[in-house]
A and B are shown apart, each in its own frame.
Chain A
Amino acid sequence: MTIPLSWYLIVAAVLFCIGIYGVLARRNAVGILMGVELMLNAVNINLVAFWRYLNPTDVAGQAFALFVLVVAAAEAVVGLALIISVYRNRTDIDAENINLLKQ
């Protein structure tokens, strides 16, 4: 346990914030998705860190992280399929222009 738990948590937090920035600030839809992946990865780091430091004997921590990973993959797939579909319709995946819900 040479590396304190908090270091991992800090890394995860920073990665998470970077991911947030990507989600909020990117125009390209794929770029947004990349930010989401980063966020999910940050969460995974958190989860595993906690598993390792708090309850290493219980396998539930790893299982949790695993499932997060699976879901993230599924979500990335669907998201990209959507992006491609949108691209097909408009030739434009600028998130600023996807605003048909605008009031």
Chain B
Amino acid sequence: MDQQTLIYFVWLIPLLPLLAFFTIMLFTRKHDRLSHTIAIGAIAISFVLAQIVFWNAVAQGGSHAAEPAAAVESSTEAPSATAEHSAETPAAAEGEHAAAEGEHGYPAYVESHIPWLPQGLNTLNMGVLVDPLTAAMLFMVPIACFMIIFYSVGYSNFNKKRDPHDQPGFPPHKGREPMYGRFFAFLSLFAGAMLTLVVADNLLLLFIGWEIMGLCSYLLIGFWYARTYPDRNKITPRGAAVKAFMTTRVADVFMLLGIAFLYSSTGTLSFTEIFTQEMTSQLAAVLFLGIPAAQVIYMLLFIGTIGKSAQFPLHTWLPDAMEGPTPVSAMIHAAAMVSAGVYMVIRMFPILGGTVPRGELVTFTPMIIIGTFTALFSATIAFTQRDVKKVLAYSTISQLGFMISALGMGAWVAALFHLITHAFFKALLFMGSGSIIHGVEHGMHATEHGHDDHAAAPAHAEAAPDDHGHGHDDADPQEPDMDPQDMFNMGGLRKKMPVTFWTFLIGGLSLAGFPIFFAGFWSKDEILGHAFHYPQFQIVFWVLVFTAFLTAFYTMRQISLTFFGQPRTEAAGHAHESHWTMIAPLVILAVFAIIAGFVGVKADMPGLGLIFNGPFAKYGTPFEHFVEPVLATTIEIEVLSFDWTPLLIASTAGVLGLALGWWVYGRRPLAAGQPDPLEVKMGGLYVVLKNKYYIDEIYNYVFVQPARRFAVWMGDVFDRKGIDGVLHGIADGALRLSLAFRSFDTKVVNGGADGFAASIKAAGHWLRDIQTGRVQNYLLLALVSVVLLIALYITLFS
């Protein structure tokens, strides 16, 4: 595989889904089969290319792993090399150039850029960079996107015909999604944007991808734009879309400020140029209000992540984003958007390298505080939720909190590792929930039409995949207003939907951190291990352990309520397994949810360490060795040795949580109509948790309503009276002026001309009187003239 081909592949990875978006939107939107073929084809090829790039990187990266010293050495030659490179870049601006480990000492497998924006002496370049971090992301993102897009075929009821009763803008009832092509177009755009962000070699291109994803979140959360609910307090998809977009927008402003600050401090946005020893020490030396510039920049960028990855206090949009179709939830909350937020802060972490002496642990306290708090905070909300997707939403927020917290503590590798494993099992869980919901809805349709319909099995041989909520529009005579997403309406689905059950269980156990076999365990353990190791993070450690316990608890609660026991409603009783296009991705992701963790096994772990690391490695995990060179130019990270204590504590917390969950919900599964036992026991506290600590209400009161009132005021008073008043006044004034001119024209100019003519006429009239016809008059005139002439003559000439 020569370097040039590799470069082409890397460029193609984000381009193919973007092209798919344009093609579908412009040309094939009406053709369902063609649309999904293009979308799936594009992402599938991207996936293949990404895999090629990834394995290529692994092959190259292996050589680094054996000699960590080499990484250190290359960093010492970095300063001089960097100076060269920065000066060289303008000269080498035309055409592309690629280097494995370029003159800058940065471990890039693929590097390629094109000049984009000439700015006088130097040029802003747009390009791609594949380093170990990118490679790791390229392993996860395309496959997750591929699975989700593939899943969408079944989810959008491709196997059904279009139902004429289904309106665009509403979720389909029993037929195919009316806006089928559009959905795939947007998903492709989303995937394309995420991939752009991942392979970007500079912060600007990353930001472009970031913003496009923000747009996609709006388009996709509000996909069923026309949908409304009779309950006025329930947010509509349109409202949720606006909320998501607005919240992330607020954060993006700060991020842009961070980018601007970074650019003004360093004169570049390119990663390879920023992440050098000299640049980071310079950034740490420059002070802004007494704080090193590096930290200010990082804080501003982190605010962007707070919005995008739904950390407290900008977390409110994520649960409401569940209004979108389930593949969108999977995309946003697992594979793409929230991951992008964490990816960005992971990517930018090295700029903090100069804030501490080399070799010391690099930390960022605001991230620790916000991340840990968010993790705990949303975990406490999660176990009070009834909606299956909402539980997963809060779970996502919580897990993201874990990652942020880890990164804040300096556990860079652990944060990245957890990001990747989380993407797999969360996508799995979301798609699983989609499958569950489809099953229950099918059950609802079955009971709607009476039980004898069930005998006519062929009619219902294929699932009636619908998303939730139309229970409100379609009053079922036996079960009116049933919410197919409410877990308390489920139960016993284990028998009805076995594949969904097993895959969901695998995902859940991974999330909960069940030891050994599940990826979530390894990644969570690494975070906790890091926290445990450093004495200053003791409190954080225990809070995270407690959160892990809660995570396991609500996971088991969810699984029990959904799958165990007897069906609590007739609909649940009539559910059946989903279409193969939905099942297949679940299985594939379940496999990853298990095996992805094994790259995180420490070499010095007894037994397993040897299996997964091979005989030569003495310490660290394979994943760590792979990604570590990214930091090498700026930060020296300490590779922790294996420690049983945090591992056992984490395992215990996880298992205990699962056990407690089973004890409360699974041992004696709830019957129909039975309330949540915790609700009964916890009383008022439960209500607060269930209402998400009333934060949405507080925000509404403090921010939304005043903003709305201001907007109304601007519209009615300022705009209509003020600006329109001025405009009308000007128009009025102009009109008056023109009328004045008109009257001037009429009276003065016309009048003048007419008057002049009239006066000439009058003069003519008057002069005509001279022509009396009487000779004597003429004679008199002649005489007078002669006399005058004579007088004149006399006066002048004598």
Contact = CB atoms under 8 A, between A and B. Distances in A.
* Complex contact flag A–B (Cβ < 8 Å): yes
Interface of A: 20, 23-26, 32, 95-96, 98-103
Contact of B774 (A20, A23, A25, A95): A95
A51 to B, nearest CB: 24
B773 A24 contact: no
B786 to A, nearest CB: 11
A95 B773 contact: no
Contacts of B783: 20, 24
A94 B619 CA distance: 149
Contacts of B682: none
Nearest to B775: A95
Interface of B: 768, 771-776, 779-780, 783
B771 A102 contact: yes
B776 A24 contact: yes
Contacts of B772: 99, 102
B174 to A, nearest CB: 104
A103 B776 contact: no
Contact of A96 (B774, B779, B780): B774
A101 B771 contact: yes
B773 A101 contact: yes
Contact of A103 (B773, B775, B779, B780): B773
Nearest to B778: A101
B774 A98 contact: yes
Contacts of B776: 23-26, 32, 95
Shortest 4 CB-CB contacts between residues of A and residues of B = A102-B773, A99-B773, A103-B771, A101-B773
Q: Helix, strand, loop or mixed for chain B's interface?
A: helix
A16 to B, nearest CB: 11
Contacts of A103: 768, 771, 773
7 contacts: A24-B779, A95-B775, A95-B776, A96-B774, A98-B773, A98-B775, A99-B773
Contacts of A100: 773
Contacts of A98: 773-775
A23 B781 CA distance: 13
A96 B773 CA distance: 9
Contacts of A26: 776
A86 to B, nearest CB: 12
B784 to A, nearest CB: 10
B763 to A, nearest CB: 14
B765 to A, nearest CB: 10
Nearest to A96: B774
Contacts of A23: 776, 779
A24 B780 contact: yes
Nearest to B767: A103
A96 B775 CA distance: 9
Contacts of B774: 95-96, 98-99, 102
Nearest to B768: A103
A101 B773 CA distance: 4
Nearest to A102: B773
- Determine which residue in B771, B776, B780 has the highest number of CB atoms from chain A within 10 A of its CB, and name it: B776
B788 to A, nearest CB: 15
- Determine which residue in B775, B779, B780 has the highest number of CB atoms from chain A within 10 A of its CB, and name it: B775
Nearest to B783: A20
Nearest to A26: B776
Contacts of B768: 103
B144 to A, nearest CB: 109
Nearest to B764: A103
B778 to A, nearest CB: 9
B775 to A, nearest CB: 7
A92 B448 CA distance: 127
A4 to B, nearest CB: 21
Contacts of A101: 771, 773
A60 B626 CA distance: 149
B330 to A, nearest CB: 106
Nearest to A27: B776
A32 B775 CA distance: 11
B542 to A, nearest CB: 125
Given A95-B775, A98-B773, 4 more contacts: A99-B772, A100-B773, A101-B773, A103-B773
B453 to A, nearest CB: 114
A13 to B, nearest CB: 13
A14 B783 CA distance: 15
A13 B312 CA distance: 128
Nearest to B774: A99
B235 to A, nearest CB: 96
A53 B775 CA distance: 37
A102 B773 CA distance: 4
A76 B443 CA distance: 142
A83 to B, nearest CB: 13
B751 to A, nearest CB: 29
A100 B771 CA distance: 10
Nearest to A100: B773
- Determine which residue in B768, B773, B780 has the highest number of CB atoms from chain A within 10 A of its CB, and name it: B773
A96 B772 CA distance: 9
A103 B772 CA distance: 7
B783 to A, nearest CB: 7
